């Protein structure tokens, strides 16, 4: 028989990336963001399924897609080389050059909130003249006439939902990642939806349906649940709570008068349907472990972007009974059974708190005995059973992967999530330490075979673990991680500033804590091999953060590899960059393991 | 209303390129070569139509695809950065790394001729140990055992068709572009298919069906027609002739016992079906003006790659009654009605010979008054009504396009085609001159608004027109064109050498003619602005040809722009290079026209 070569690195990393998507109102076209051409662009396929056409040629990340219900235009928001200064651009539904819709200064960020059913009005938020809290406008798309609807005053404020007749506008005021309130404008009247607005709570995802506003909240509960506010009766009602599940996305199916709710239940997501009339609640079984996007067509047909540990992002249509693949995606040349399914394990932390982690064990036939310890980014995010091409790439290269959802992670209730706030460097770090010790106890790893690799907050954690627990690991890889909480605090975008106090702390008030929790404090201890990756345009973790740690370590004579990506921000908009980084990481790890890279 | 930007250059040039394709034997998958990812790779879609998956990651041109009828492997031939040293590579049907199937030296060229119905045997040709004439082998794909079937002795020889039982092997001996003979091995007996093998004729495209070998020939006729040879009766029969149409492709539908014949009738191609039993001949109406590939599934379903002047390459399935789109393709954001349809015009040349030309008139609303004069490559090829993205790009930029099928072009009979042989620089050149004069007479152009742009032989013609008729044109663009027939004669690949004598002439015997027809002879007259493009790996027109003319002109003080593509050969395997070249050409022309580039 023919002996085919083993799957190459790039087969995993060339897996199609899918981003936002939209369905036209007559459901004849699906528009989606993808790096099919190597870089992120907008594509479309004719429904019920066909060959894709490229609509944009900007080669940039696209943050949202909105289609004129009357089919005259398409709106996208895109930035430039990762700078996150997203602008609203208009293009012909047939594709072509995308044109800036609303004149704005370069630093301005614009976000689409809603398009009216007749396509005449755009509701959008802009940082122009209000960089910290944003202003929201209603704009006549055809004439350019516009009207200020909501001015952000004390919190980052954006419109969440607009009623069919345009009279009711629900907006969310974000004080921090874990504190937000929803209000609604009803003609000239303002409704405070929460019954106890003074309480710290997190309200999210408003939907105006008739004279009710549906939303998710965690008021007096550890988990988010579904509630509604009656605009006439002026009071809120709890609609549905689920034990041990946090509701985190809410979508409205006007055709069938029902709501779709996505929950996070630890490392997996589930989908539920709530029928407003009849008050029926039902789980919708799906082929996915994680939902990354959901669109409801005018007909009520559901289009879902999702994945599992072993199946890359795909878009399926749910007909009510069946899931039909629309945009299919697999690791080229690698059958799904060769990919590694995550095992969910739990271990007790230093204070008895249970920590859940994903454990991907490299198959015996490829295992090299080494393990990658992956503290996720966020930090108020989590590692789920979504497909991770680089995990599978590492696994195929023989590395097992351990990803702990340390305290502060989403998916385990609000109390758990808040545990990282103003405590970036203590509890979560010790959870990681206990995770490493768990691996040692199980016999899965030894300090000599354990490598710490993390991005964003995970990069910060990597640096901190290097500074304070270097003997647990053999080497470290920091991707876009901040090293100094003082400078990080000051360098984030304007609209992050308010929430930084609660999220990270205050450099004056919490000076001692900032020093204790900044990796740069422990520079002297960082003696292990390290590889640092940074995007030159990163607006969240600026290049100075990485320059600082690299220069400081090099001055001490520590060998540090440094890769600066000139045309990226806080992520990868270009497949070639992603490929480069993850290939370099494996080469770096192989070199530590063997004294030379394998390739 | 919203005023969308005019279509950008790259919208035309980003049009998907489609190359070879194949259908699996159970018709569940269509495999095709495309630059969907920006570079040429193999892709597949599930039939009857779905979302594409990438199968290879080599980023190289793929010359052929063959699928194991039993579904165990896929074979491709690919080269490296345009060097045309195509090698047979095997990959898993699910895709992945392609592995060299047959060890070979770097310079070796390998071509797949046939795979047996059980997928056990590969019939292939190789230049190894016979660089000029090739040897053909039967190889057991599983064991690697192989047997020499046909050794090229006096002509470039390749297998054209193998009977179902493997006992009959038809092969073609190519003495030149217009002289070839087909022979057949029938067990240990060799059949000479032509009744008059001593006559100069061009036999092509053999199909072994039962005890007959069908083929196309032009014996005693100006146009190619369908004939068959009876292996038992040992004589040839004329089956079908068409007036004014040359048959140039032949495919066999074993399920329905019929043949499909493609004709060239001037600038358009047509498709006919011949039913063997019943001897029925029928034109198959299609949506295309040019067919670029045709595959017949085991069921008899027909898959066709084709295009028109205004519709890019697409793959359709013909069900017997309908044409169903499988791989769709359009110019993104440009409706078909904005593209320019070619008008076919005729003009008499210096000696009264009628020359057909394509005339694309830039629409009044975009026209800049300038015309691009495009002598095609080949030269024994022609400009057809196939889609040309760069023509449409030029048109959208205001340039009209005139493409004459000068003497020597295919599609107008064998006598016409032979007129370029050993006369590269006289007749065809004067046809071009008369074409330019026709444009002047019609009032379509003036010498001040006419620009000559050509590639390969068209680049040679551009150089020659520059040297001998510079006053007819304002500026010149030479893409991959030879400037010196002496050096060109010696630098072509080995397997071209035999035919060069008839095609171009002999540098010793025809020394005077070579001097007269070499553009370099007229260097002194070349004083107009020129732009030269060359692929560094071009094995047909080597870099030295372009270096020579550029250096010579620069020494004289003539301003010449020179673009050397490091990773290309005699064509474009990389979309970014194609985009670069055609954008640079328009910038160059705009600069001549206006004194500065428009962009």
Contact yes or no for B194/B203 (Cβ under 8 A): yes
B49: closest CA of chain A, how far (Å): 6
Whether ipTM exceeds 0.90: no
Q: Which residues contact B399 (CB under 8 A, 6 or more apart)?
A: B362, B368, B370, B371, B372, B451, B586, B589
Whether the predicted pLDDT of B598 surpasses 70:
no
Task: Tell me if A4 and B328 make a contact (CB, 8 A cut-off).
Answer: no
DSSP designation for B5: P
User: Could you identify the residue written with the tokens 């009654």?
Assistant: B321
Question: Rounded to whole angstroms, how far apart are CA atoms A582 and A273?
Answer: 39
**Stretch B559-580: mean pLDDT:** 84
Whether the predicted pLDDT of A6 surpasses 90:
no
Q: In chain A, pLDDT over 70 holds for what percent of residues?
A: 99
**Stretch A209-221: mean pLDDT:** 96
Retrieve residue B141's tokens: 């794909």
In this structure, how many other beta carbons lie within 10 angstroms of the beta carbon of residue B336?
12
Retrieve residue B365's tokens: 């609303």
pLDDT tens-place string over residues A133-165:
999 999 999 999 999 999 999 999 999 999 999
Closest CA to B464 of B510, B517, B420: B517
Between B452 and A176, whose confidence is greater? B452
Nearest-CA residue of chain A relative to B59? A38
pLDDT tens-place string over residues A582-596:
999 999 999 999 877
* Closest residue to B2, CB basis, from A6, A46, A73: A73
Identify the weakest region by mean pLDDT among A495-499, A530-534, B161-165, B234-238: A495-499
List C-alpha distances in Å: A435 to A351, A359, A449.
13, 11, 14
Measured in whole angstroms, the distance separating CA A391 from the mean position of its chain's CA atoms is: 17
A17 neighbourhood in chain B, CB within 8 Å: none
Query: What is the band of A598 on the pLDDT scale with cuts at 50, 70, 90?
Result: low
List C-alpha distances in Å: A94 to A40, A81, B15, B366.
18, 25, 14, 20
A528: closest CA of chain B, how far (Å): 35
Q: What is the 3-state secondary structure (H, E, C) of B499-555?
A: HHHHHCCCCCCCHHHHHHHCHHHHHHHCCCCEEEEEECCCCCCCHHHHHHHHHHHHH
Does the model's pTM come out above 0.90? no
A90 neighbourhood in chain B, CB within 8 Å: 2, 4
Mutation for B interface: A94, A316, A579, most B CBs within 10 A: A94
**Stretch B414-439: mean pLDDT:** 96
Nearest-CA residue of chain B relative to A72? B2
Task: Compute the radius of gyration of chain B from its Cα atoms.
Answer: 24
Question: Rounded to whole angstroms, how far apart are CA atoms B437 and B439?
Answer: 5
**Stretch B138-144: mean pLDDT:** 96
A327 neighbourhood in chain B, CB within 8 Å: 51
A76 neighbourhood in chain B, CB within 8 Å: none
* Closest residue to B94, CB basis, from A6, A72, A333: A333
Retrieve residue A120's tokens: 């005449």
Question: Rounded to whole angstroms, how far apart are CA atoms A289 and A271?
Answer: 10
B373, exposed or middle or buried, with CB in 10 Å at 0-12, 13-18, 19+? buried
Task: Tell me if B4 and A327 make a contact (CB, 8 A cut-off).
Answer: no
Task: Tell me if B328 and A37 make a contact (CB, 8 A cut-off).
Answer: no
DSSP designation for B114: E
Measured in whole angstroms, the distance separating CA A550 from the mean position of its chain's CA atoms is: 27
Q: In chain B, pLDDT over 70 holds for what percent of residues?
A: 99
Strand B475-479 relative to strand A475-479: parallel, antiparallel, unpaired?
Answer: unpaired
Closest CA to B564 of B538, B592, B588: B538
A17: closest CA of chain B, how far (Å): 12
Question: Rounded to whole angstroms, how far apart are CA atoms B223 and B246?
Answer: 5
Nearest-CA residue of chain A relative to B2? A142
Closest CA to B23 of B14, B11, B34, B32: B32
**pLDDT of res. A333:** 81
Question: Rounded to whole angstroms, how far apart are CA atoms B44 and B342?
Answer: 33
pLDDT tens-place string over residues B33-50:
998 888 889 999 999 888
In this structure, how many other beta carbons lie within 10 angstroms of the beta carbon of residue B197?
14
B95 neighbourhood in chain A, CB within 8 Å: 11, 332-333
**Stretch A529-557: mean pLDDT:** 88
Closest CA to B96 of B55, B38, B124: B55
Mutation for B interface: A2, A10, A329, most B CBs within 10 A: A2
A52 neighbourhood in chain B, CB within 8 Å: 51-52
B177: closest CA of chain A, how far (Å): 38
Is the dihedral angle over the CA atoms B353, B354, B358, B359 positive or is it negative?
positive
Query: What is the band of A597 on the pLDDT scale with cuts at 50, 70, 90?
Result: low
Task: Tell me if B4 and A55 make a contact (CB, 8 A cut-off).
Answer: no
Q: What is the mean pLDDT of chain B?
A: 92
In this structure, how many other beta carbons lie within 10 angstroms of the beta carbon of residue A348?
11
A6 neighbourhood in chain B, CB within 8 Å: 97
b (16+ CB within 10 A) / e for A385-405: bbbbbbbbbbbbbbbbbbbbb
* Closest residue to A2, CB basis, from B55, B90, B329: B90
* Closest residue to A332, CB basis, from B7, B55, B141: B55
Q: How many C-alpha atoms does B448 have within 13 Å on its Cβ side? A: 4
* Closest residue to B333, CB basis, from A38, A45, A96: A96
Whether the predicted pLDDT of A471 surpasses 50:
yes
**pLDDT of res. A462:** 97
Task: Tell me if B11 and A95 make a contact (CB, 8 A cut-off).
Answer: yes
**pLDDT of res. A360:** 97
Task: Tell me if A332 and B142 make a contact (CB, 8 A cut-off).
Answer: no
Task: Tell me if B72 and A2 make a contact (CB, 8 A cut-off).
Answer: yes
* Closest residue to B5, CB basis, from A38, A94, A96: A96
What would the DSSP string read from start to end of A399-453?
A: -EEEEEE-TT-TTS-HHHHHTTTT-SSSHHHHHHHHHHHHHHHHTS--GGGEEEE
Map residue A205 onto helix, strand or coil.
Answer: strand
Closest CA to A379 of A409, A353, A357: A409
**pLDDT of res. B599:** 47
pLDDT tens-place string over residues A37-52:
888 899 999 998 889 9
Task: Tell me if A2 and B73 make a contact (CB, 8 A cut-off).
Answer: yes
Map residue B21 onto helix, strand or coil.
Answer: strand
In this structure, how many other beta carbons lie within 10 angstroms of the beta carbon of residue A84?
17
Question: Rounded to whole angstroms, how far apart are CA atoms B413 and B271?
Answer: 18
A401: closest CA of chain B, how far (Å): 24
**Stretch B16-28: mean pLDDT:** 92
pLDDT tens-place string over residues B552-565:
999 988 889 999 99
**Stretch B21-35: mean pLDDT:** 94
Mutation for A interface: B2, B59, B121, B335, most A CBs within 10 A: B2
**pLDDT of res. A15:** 73
Task: Tell me if B2 and A36 make a contact (CB, 8 A cut-off).
Answer: no
Question: Rounded to whole angstroms, how far apart are CA atoms A383 and B202?
Answer: 67
Task: Tell me if B51 and A37 make a contact (CB, 8 A cut-off).
Answer: no
Contact yes or no for B434/B414 (Cβ under 8 A): no
Closest CA to A511 of A428, A422, A429: A422
Question: Rounded to whole angstroms, how far apart are CA atoms A330 and A314?
Answer: 9
Map residue A251 onto helix, strand or coil.
Answer: strand
Contact yes or no for B146/B135 (Cβ under 8 A): no
B8: closest CA of chain A, how far (Å): 7
B127: closest CA of chain A, how far (Å): 24
- Phi, psi (degrees; rounded to nearest 5) at B47: -90, 150
Indicate the angle between helix axes B575-594 and B389-396, nearest 10 degrees.
30
A48 preceded by a cis bond (ω within 30 of 0) = yes
Query: What is the band of B597 on the pLDDT scale with cuts at 50, 70, 90?
Result: low
Question: Rounded to whole angstroms, how far apart are CA atoms B382 and B451?
Answer: 20
A37 neighbourhood in chain B, CB within 8 Å: 36-38
Whether the predicted pLDDT of A80 surpasses 90:
no
Contact yes or no for A597/A591 (Cβ under 8 A): yes
pLDDT tens-place string over residues B477-513:
999 999 999 999 988 888 888 889 889 999 999 999 9
Retrieve residue A145's tokens: 């006439």
Whether the predicted pLDDT of A191 surpasses 70:
yes
Nearest-CA residue of chain B relative to A36? B37
**pLDDT of res. A64:** 95
Identify the weakest region by mean pLDDT among A522-526, A555-559, B414-418: A555-559
B516: closest CA of chain A, how far (Å): 47
Whether the predicted pLDDT of A14 surpasses 80:
no
Contact yes or no for B353/B374 (Cβ under 8 A): no
b (16+ CB within 10 A) / e for B572-588: bbbbebbbbbbbbbbbb
User: Could you identify the residue written with the tokens 């979560």?
Assistant: A428
* Closest residue to A14, CB basis, from B54, B91, B334: B54
B329 neighbourhood in chain A, CB within 8 Å: 51, 53
Question: Rounded to whole angstroms, how far apart are CA atoms B231 and B396?
Answer: 55
Task: Tell me if B334 and A7 make a contact (CB, 8 A cut-off).
Answer: no
**Stretch A563-586: mean pLDDT:** 85
Question: Rounded to whole angstroms, how far apart are CA atoms B354 and A393?
Answer: 63
Nearest-CA residue of chain B relative to A50? B50
A148, exposed or middle or buried, with CB in 10 Å at 0-12, 13-18, 19+? exposed
Give the H/E segment covering residue A126. strand A121-126
Q: What is the mean pLDDT of chain A?
A: 93
Whether the predicted pLDDT of B161 surpasses 80:
yes
Map residue B282 onto helix, strand or coil.
Answer: strand
B11 neighbourhood in chain A, CB within 8 Å: 57, 95-97
């Amino acid at each position: 028989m023919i002996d085919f070569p083993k799957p190459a690195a790039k087969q995993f990393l060339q897996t199609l990336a899918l981003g936002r998507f939209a369905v036209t109102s007559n459901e004849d076209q699906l528009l989606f963001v993808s790096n099919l051409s190597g870089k992120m662009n907008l594509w479309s396929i004719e429904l019920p399924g066909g060959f894709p056409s490229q609509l944009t040629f900007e080669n940039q990340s696209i943050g949202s897609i909105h289609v004129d219900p009357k089919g005259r235009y398409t709106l996208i928001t895109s930035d430039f080389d990762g700078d996150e200064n997203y602008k609203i651009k208009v293009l012909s539904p047939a594709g072509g050059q995308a044109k800036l819709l609303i004149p704005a200064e370069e630093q301005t960020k614009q976000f689409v909130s809603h398009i009216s059913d007749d396509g005449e009005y755009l509701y959008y938020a802009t940082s122009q003249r209000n960089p910290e809290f944003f202003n929201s406008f209603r704009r006549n798309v055809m004439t350019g006439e516009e009207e200020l609807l909501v001015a952000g005053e004390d919190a980052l404020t954006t419109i969440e939902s607009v009623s069919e007749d345009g009279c009711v506008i629900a907006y969310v005021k974000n004080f921090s990642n874990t504190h937000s309130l929803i209000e609604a404008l009803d003609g000239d009247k303002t409704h405070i939806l929460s019954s106890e607005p003074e309480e710290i709570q997190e309200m999210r995802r408003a939907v105006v349906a008739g004279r009710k506003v549906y939303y998710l909240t965690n008021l007096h509960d550890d988990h988010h649940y579904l509630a509604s506010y009656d605009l006439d009766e002026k009071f809120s009602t709890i609609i549905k709570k689920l034990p041990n599940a946090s509701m985190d996305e809410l979508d409205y199916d006007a055709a069938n008068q029902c709501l779709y709710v996505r929950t996070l239940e630890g490392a997996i997501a589930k989908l539920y349907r709530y029928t407003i009339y009849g008050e029926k609640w039902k789980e919708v079984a799906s082929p996915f472990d994680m939902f990354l996007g959901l669109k409801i067509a005018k007909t009520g047909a559901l289009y879902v972007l999702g994945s599992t540990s072993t199946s890359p992002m795909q878009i399926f249509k749910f007909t009510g009974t069946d899931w039909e693949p629309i945009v299919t995606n697999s690791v080229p040349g690698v059958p799904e059974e060769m990919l590694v399914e995550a095992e969910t394990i739990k271990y007790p932390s230093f204070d008895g708190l249970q920590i859940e982690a994903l454990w991907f064990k490299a198959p015996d036939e490829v295992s090299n005995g080494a393990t990658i310890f992956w503290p996720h980014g966020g930090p108020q995010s989590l590692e789920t059973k979504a497909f991770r091409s680089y995990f599978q790439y590492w696994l195929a290269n023989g590395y097992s992967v351990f990803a702990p959802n340390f305290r502060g992670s989403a998916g385990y209730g609000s109390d758990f999530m808040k545990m990282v706030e103003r405590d970036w460097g203590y509890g979560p770090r010790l959870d990681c330490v206990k995770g490493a010790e768990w691996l040692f106890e199980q016999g899965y790893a030894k300090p000599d075979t354990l490598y710490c690799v993390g991005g964003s907050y995970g990069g910060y954690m990597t640096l901190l673990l290097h500074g304070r627990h270097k003997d647990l690991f053999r080497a470290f890889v920091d991707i876009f991680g901040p090293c100094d909480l003082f400078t990080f605090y000051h360098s984030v975008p304007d609209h992050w500033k308010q929430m930084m106090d609660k999220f990270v702390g205050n450099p004056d008030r919490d000076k001692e804590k900032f020093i204790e929790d900044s990796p740069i404090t422990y520079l002297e201890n960082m003696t292990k091999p390290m590889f640092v990756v940074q995007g030159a345009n990163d607006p969240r973790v600026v290049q100075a953060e990485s320059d600082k740690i690299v220069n400081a370590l090099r001055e001490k004579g520590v060998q540090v590899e440094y890769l600066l990506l000139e045309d990226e921000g806080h992520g990868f908009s270009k497949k070639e960059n992603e490929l480069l980084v993850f290939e370099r990481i494996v080469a770096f790890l192989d070199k530590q393991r063997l004294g030379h890279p394998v390739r």
